[in-house]
Amino acid sequence: MNFKTIFKSLKNHDMLRRILIVLGLLIVYRFLAHIPVPLGEPTTFQEAVQNLIANSDFGGFLNLISGGGLTSFSILLVGISPYITAQIVVQLVTKAIPRFEELSEDGETGRRKINQWTRILTIPLAIVQSIAYIFILYQSVIASNTALTYTPTTADWLLSVTAMVAGSVMLMWFGELMTEQGIGNGISLIIFTSIISQLPSTVANLGTALFDTSAGSLSLFGWFNLPVNPTIFWVVLGFAVAIVILIYFLIKLNEAQRVITINYAKRVHGNSAYGGIKSILPLKLIAAGVVPVIFATAFLSLPALLGQFIQTVNPDGTFGNTLMTLFTAPSASNFLSMYPNGITAQWFFYPTLYFVLVVLFTYFYTSIIFNTKEIADNLQKQGAFIEGIRPGIQTAEYLGKTINRLNLFGALALGLIAMLPFLTDYIFIILTGTPIGLSLSGTGLLIVVTVALENLRQLNSRALMVTYDEYK
């Protein structure tokens, strides 16, 4: 990454305009995240949302990628999840139905149609999710015996759902506007900003605990005392070192790739010869990125959310409680209540299933985005081949075997990163008897690192374009 080139490109007015547009849209997004849903008593519903997040991993994950939109009960409560879901559905349909697959290969015209269908599908998904969130929150408020001095009317429900859908569509629009600037993926930037926006409150809480010297201060070799809590100081220092090491390995994993040499056949037309050159085909170690982790989190957390809803409607039933028990991730907040007798076999159910699903979804999503047959056909049409491999079917089989071997290590590495909070808790239970919760999990850190590297790469490419004349 050439940061000198990036700084030089800021002298270009077009480059500066693109960066300012992206930054402006992100600032507007953060302001919108604090506008409450117009539904009677926002404070009461905020308390219901906080209780929902405390008892649901899926709610906590959605709050993470929505930049706190859930906890503030803002019009961005639904966030960009409908758009992401629509993209996944359209991708699956495109690969499953030959007619849509042909359309996706029809150049820019086909891609525009598919993008338009994705936008259209986003709206009904946003409506369904908005209605579901409002209904669950309202039932949670009623079940908690909270006195409501205001009873929402049908018009109030319609207004609230409309505001939430409008917020989701606006985020989709912001994401596409940022992508058009050519310096990064807009949706990824929104998720990146959402996660980063949670860090100031975490740092503030750590700072308050660090400088609380009511239990004593840190003695430095007996020479003088630092005005910090000694226990919190060593914990913070240990986590800081661990995060730096983890970021290093995440960067290495994200950048790791297998390079395959591509040869182009030499062709003679008249007195001129074409081809006879070599190129490369890079295969990333983790081609699926963080999508498998998101899929696995949603898959495992929805049963817990459903169990909470069933328990709210029917408190005397056991089915809802069973779902919540099996599909709630063990953490520092619920360990003592869920496992009063210490670690049992049930403690390993959620982490084991989570790890298996991450591995399976890595293979599944990679097979969708990396079509070996299509790549082999394109290479054959261009007169390209892999040395020692016949063009066509054998090339596709070779690429399939190579990507599967990469997936084996990549999926295991991705699963271990996602399991980091559970492994940390397990170590602390053995050492101290109680777990310790991580505010920024391996999943969140992986998203931040991946998005930062990808957007820096695109920014660097744009900077090279605008400063190209200086290097001639």
Instruction: Encode pLDDT of 83-113 as tens digits.
Output: 877 887 887 787 777 777 777 777 677 778 8
When mean pLDDT is compared across 114-123, 165-174, 213-222, 446-455, the lowest value belongs to 213-222
pLDDT (average), residues 400-429: 81
Strand partners, 218: 226
User: Considering only CA atoms, which of 415, 93, 445, 75 is closest in space to residue 246?
Assistant: 445
Question: Would you state the structure tokens that stand for residue 446, as one six-digit string?
Answer: 């992986």
What is residue 385's DSSP assignment?
Answer: E
pLDDT (average), residues 361-383: 83
SS3 6: helix
The C-alpha atoms of residue 249 and residue 392 are separated, in whole angstroms, by 36
Higher pLDDT, 438 or 156: 156
- Count of alpha carbons within 13 Å of 301, Cβ hemisphere only? 19
Is 343 a residue whose pLDDT tops 50? yes
Most confident of 112-121, 130-139, 340-349: 112-121
- Cβ neighbour number for residue 99 with a 10 Å cutoff: 7
When mean pLDDT is compared across 19-33, 205-219, 242-256, the lowest value belongs to 205-219
pLDDT (average), residues 7-33: 86
Higher pLDDT, 437 or 368: 368
* pLDDT tens digits along 279-329: 888 888 888 777 787 777 767 777 776 776 677 667 677 777 777 777 777
CB 323 within 8 A of CB 307: yes
Is 413 a residue whose pLDDT tops 80? yes
The C-alpha atoms of residue 124 and residue 195 are separated, in whole angstroms, by 26
How confident is residue 65, by pLDDT bands cut at 50, 70 and 90? low
Higher pLDDT, 429 or 437: 429
Phi-psi region of 294 (alpha: psi -120 to 50; beta: other; left: phi over 0): alpha
What is residue 329's DSSP assignment?
Answer: P
The C-alpha atoms of residue 112 and residue 106 are separated, in whole angstroms, by 10
**Cα of 149 vs its chain's centroid, Å:** 39
Task: Scan for tokens 């308390």, then name that residue.
Answer: 47
Q: Which residues contact 237 (CB under 8 A, 6 or more apart)?
A: none
On average, the pLDDT of the chain sits at: 76
Phi, psi of 174, deg, nearest 5: -60, -45
Question: Would you state the structure tokens that stand for residue 428, as one six-digit string?
Answer: 């602390």
CB 276 within 8 A of CB 266: yes
pLDDT (average), residues 202-224: 72
The C-alpha atoms of residue 96 and residue 86 are separated, in whole angstroms, by 15
The C-alpha atoms of residue 438 and residue 442 are separated, in whole angstroms, by 9
Phi-psi region of 68 (alpha: psi -120 to 50; beta: other; left: phi over 0): left
* pLDDT tens digits along 123-158: 998 898 888 777 766 666 665 555 555 566 778 788
Percent of the chain's residues with pLDDT above 70: 74
pLDDT of residue 326: 76
When mean pLDDT is compared across 74-88, 132-146, 174-188, 457-471, the lowest value belongs to 132-146
Checking DSSP bridges between strand 257-264 and strand 224-226, what pairing results, if any?
unpaired
Higher pLDDT, 325 or 43: 325
pLDDT of residue 123: 92
The C-alpha atoms of residue 42 and residue 49 are separated, in whole angstroms, by 10
* pLDDT tens digits along 151-180: 667 787 888 889 889 988 998 899 889 888
pLDDT of residue 439: 46
pLDDT (average), residues 57-83: 64
